[in-house]
Amino acid sequence: MSVGDDIKEAIADVGSTYTIVRDAGNISGEYGLLEFSSQVTKPLTIESFRRSTVGYDTQAVTGDVVEFDIIGERFLVTNMLPELFENAVVQKEAVLYKCNVSSGELMRPSGETWDDPMNQYHKETAWEVIKDNCDAMQVAALYGNDLETENELALLGLQKDEVLLPHSVGAQVMDRWQPYSGEYYMVATIETRRYPDVDVLIVEEDRR
Cα distances (Å, whole numbers) of residue 79 to 52, 74, 95, 126, 144: 10, 15, 5, 36, 24
Task: Check whether residue 43 and residue 125 sit in a common domain.
Answer: no
pLDDT at residue number 47: 80
Task: Check whether residue 118 and residue 91 sit in a common domain.
Answer: no
Task: Check whether residue 160 and residue 105 sit in a common domain.
Answer: yes
Distance between CA atoms of residues 184 and 113, nearest Å: 19
Task: Check whether residue 112 and residue 196 sit in a common domain.
Answer: yes
Select from 98, 118, 138 the last residue of a domain: 98
Task: Check whether residue 27 and residue 116 sit in a common domain.
Answer: no
For residues 147 and 153, the answer to whether their CB atoms sit within 8 Å is yes
Task: Check whether residue 140 and residue 201 sit in a common domain.
Answer: yes
Give Cβ neighbours of residue 38 (< 8 Å, ≥ 6 apart). Answer: none
Task: Check whether residue 146 and residue 71 sit in a common domain.
Answer: no
Domain containing residue 158: CATH number: 2.40.10
For the chain, residues with pLDDT lower than 70 are 38-44, 113-122, 141-160
pLDDT at residue number 162: 92
Percent of the chain residues topping a pLDDT of 70? 82
pLDDT at residue number 140: 76
pLDDT at residue number 50: 93
pLDDT at residue number 44: 67
Structural domain boundaries enclosing 165: 101-205
